[in-house]
Structure 1
Amino acid sequence: MLALLSDYESLRLIWWVLLGVLLIGFALTDGFDLGVGALLPFVGRTDVERRVAIHTVSATWEGNQVWLVLGGGAIFAAWPALYALSFSGFYLAMFLVLFALILRPVAFKYRSKRASAAWRARWDWALFVGGAVPALIFGVAVGNVLQGVPFHFTGDLRPIYGGSLLGLLNPLALLCGLVSLAMLVAHGAAWLAFKAEGPVAERARAIGLKAALATAALFALGGLLVWAGAFGGYRVASPLPGDGPSNPLAKAVVADAGAWLANFWAHPALALVPLLGIAGPLLAALGFRTRHEGLTFLASSLGIACIIATVGLSMFPVILPSSTHPGHALTVFDASSSRATLRNMLIATVIFLPIILAYTAWVYRVLWGKVSDRDITAPGSAAY
């Protein structure tokens, strides 16, 4: 263990894996919250039905956002150059995401303050925006990363971003956005089918079936476009010492239309990951059809994890390519923090991440069970 903590290359690889784990954790937990929000106007036709949907996530959505905070914190501390470029280059897109996420707690708290149907309907649509917009924009961001982002470094390693918000909304990026939206809607529907009773669960199954099939089809289409070279690709064309200093300018990277498939050609077993990214949503669709609620949620989770992992595996070791200056791309081995920073963060993670996981598991165990109309209308029930 001590040798591992002193090996710079191993520390960088561990933090690359941990970043993927945190992103998957966010997608699996807060992802179904976003999906429920996006589904709210469509699965609930009465105020009670919409309250049933809200109550399936009302007690846990704040805790689920811990994964987003952890992911952002990990990028900031472990990959400062990635944090600086992505959060400044995608500033307007991130602002839209934050605006939508801020709507969620406001809507949760304010929708019950008045009995007016119009008042509550407006906040329900705010919850829809708070769920659908982040789900779409996160996928759009991934689509742009796959194509390459217009940035470069000055001689003193000052990052310069040359893109715009409209440039981010290109057809290929929007396709990735639709994959993200469809998979989180399906995940939210799987959660509602698992946690809700009555008409809300029935409508969620019907919508979830279509969303799961759309996820598999759109992800497969994206794979075909990667195969055809539509997303481009970038390949490191010079030695990249795993324990070298973090200097994005000390290497050569070239554009290569087949680069995003190179890792799968070199290690054929990795092809199982994108295949499961397609099989997961299809199994979820089968679960919706056969009413196997546990299978549906697990299959949806498997699909999400494998779709996200596919992106990371296809790009490795690149984490943020530059479309204008390919040689300035950020990789796992030249954009990280110092050895000491990665080591100390890993020690803290080994201590505190199991605590977070244990507490989260305990919370879900305490809140186990379905939500029905009777729970909503019972005296003393939470307002929402």
Structure 2
Amino acid sequence: MFDYMTLRLIWWAILGVLLVGFAILDGFDIGVAMLHPFVARNDTQRRVTLNTIGPVWEGNQVWFILGGGAVFAAWPPLYAVSFSGFYLAMLLVLIGLILRPVAITFRDKRPESGWRETWDWLFFVSGFVPALIFGVAFGNLLQGVPFHFDQALRATYEGGLLGLLNPFALLCGLVSVAMLTMQGAAWLSVKSEGEVSVRARRSGALAALLLVLLISAAGLWTMLGVEGFRIDGVIEHAGPSNPLAKSVTREAGAWLDNYRAYPWMIAAPALAYTGALVAALAFAFSAGRIAFLASSLSVSGVATMAGFSMFPFLLPSSTHPSQSLTVWDASSSKATLSLMLIAVIVFLPIVLAYTSWVYYVLRGAVSEAAIRRGDDYYY
């Protein structure tokens, strides 16, 4: 159907689509969790925020599972190194994601305000921790991760959790927190009414402007203070997967190479900035739907910008740069990629159609009046 090189590119693009889908859809769930204690000041308002995501958060979280499954099937060495090396970080993310339904469910088990407030703050933690860790992970990818292979391609990870929490990675973590806060605020501006919506718009405008500043700071740091990775010589794009068969050098500014070679990639950072600024204006003028669309485009731009900057690298090695994992030397076989692509072509449109139908059926805002009337809501 396709040659090996094209299949590798297609699966790199599919992985990007899945990550962007997760960032947009589960991103607003995470953002709502972070905003929950601040935009909702009483129990009724907090039930409003919970019910804005109640019918959809489980489906949105599936995009994260799809991303992990795509990595496992299409890029086995990437899965092995990242999920073992980032084990504690992944565990924190999973605890946060598990804490979300626990907090939502248990807050309603007892009527005492102290009990519910405790679970409300744990709900906040369930959003803040994954948002921060996701950004920290991308920050470490840009700097390189300490791992290497032996001659039998057995991977050894040489880092630890505390090593991941370096200043640049934490800055990238703040980019992620601001981005997903903006996305959550955009969702609340569409799906809520009254005081909750007003506070969400204020928070969203602030988060959008903060995102612009943080992206600028991270971009400047990447250009001047982060040594990027560059493949030396010729690499066989359709050759067998062997991360030991190449030469890689590190140099400040190397992550900008793709933008010089392919100027059209500038569309990604342009989308990130333009989307955030348009979202800020839309929040100011109470245009919730425009804010959500612009915010989603900004999220897409930020995620795509990281992928464009690193291409063809998937997981650079800071200790053994020549053993970094790339699109060309870390994939499954041609037969595996071809078979899985057929499954994607068949089932992904079904998933997208069903998701679109669910959002259409569940359209409309959640109001405090409806909560007080006891309408049939989830929480």
Superposed pair shares fold, TM > 0.5: yes
Q: Secondary structure at the match of 2:249?
A: strand
Residue 296 (structure 1) shift: 0.4
8 Å contact from structure 1 (residues 30, 61) kept in 2 = yes
In the alignment, the residues of structure 2 paired with residue 222 and residue 103 of structure 1 have an alpha-carbon distance, to the nearest angstrom, of 30
TM-score (norm 2): 0.99
Identify the residue that residue 337 of structure 1 maps to in structure 2: 332
What is the CA–CA distance in structure 2 between the aligned matches of 1:383 and 1:48, rounded to whole Å? Answer: 13
In the alignment, structure 1 residue 296 sits paired with structure 2 residue 286: no
The equivalent of 2:139 in structure 1 is 143
Question: Contact (CA 8 Å) 1:317, 1:333: kept in 2 or not?
Answer: yes
Match status 1:349 vs 2:327: no
Contact 1:38 1:132 (C-alpha < 8 Å) held by counterparts? yes
1:287 pairs with 2:282: yes
**1:90 partner amino acid:** F
Secondary structure at 2:252's aligned position in 1? coil
Corresponding residue for residue 63 of structure 2:
67
Inter-partner Cα distance in structure 2 for 1:327 and 1:199:
55
- 2:370 counterpart residue number: 375
Structure 1 regions of 5+ residues with no counterpart?
A: none
> Which structure 2 residues correspond to residues 255-294 of structure 1 after superposition, within 5 A?
255-294=250-289
Q: What is the DSSP-based 3-state SS (H/G/I as helix, E as strand, rest coil) of the residue aligned with 2:73? A: helix
- Aligned equivalent of 1:161, options 148, 157, 182: 157
> What does 1:76-95 align with in structure 2 at a 5 Å threshold?
76-95=72-91
CA contact (8 A) 1:264 1:314 kept: yes
Q: Which moved more, 1:179-188 or 1:219-228?
A: 219-228
Residue identity matched to 2:166: N
| Cα 1:200/1:337, change in 2 over 3 Å | same
Q: What is the match of residue 365 of structure 1?
A: 360
What CA distance in whole angstroms lies between the structure 1 residues aligned with 2:196 and 2:374? 21
Between the aligned residues of both structures, percent identity stands at 58
Partner of 1:300, secondary structure, is helix
Establish whether residue 49 from structure 1 lines up as the match of residue 53 from structure 2: no
* Structure 2 residue aligned with 1:118: 114
Asked whether the equivalents of residues 220 and 278 of structure 1 are also in contact (C-alpha less than 8 Å), the reply is no
Deviations 1:314-333 (Å, cap 9, x if unpaired)?
A: 11111111000000000001
Alignment correspondent of 2:318: 323
Cα pair 1:80 1:335 within 8 Å, conserved: yes
Gapped regions of structure 2 (runs ≥ 5) = none
CA RMSD of aligned residues (A): 0.9
**CA deviation vs aligned residue, 1:144-169 (integer Å, no higher than 9, x gap):** 00000000001100000000111000
For 2:171 and 2:274, how far apart are their aligned partners in 1?
A: 19
2:231 to 206, 227, 236: 236
In structure 2, what residue type is equivalent to 1:297? F
In 2: Cα distance, 1:113 partner to 1:258 partner:
54
| Deviation string, structure 1 residues 287-316 (Cα, Å, up to 9, x no partner) | 101111111001100111011101111111
CA contact (8 A) 1:85 1:161 kept: yes
TM-score, normalization by structure 1: 0.97
Which residue is 2:172 aligned to? 176
Structure 1 distance, partners of 2:12, 2:339, is: 15
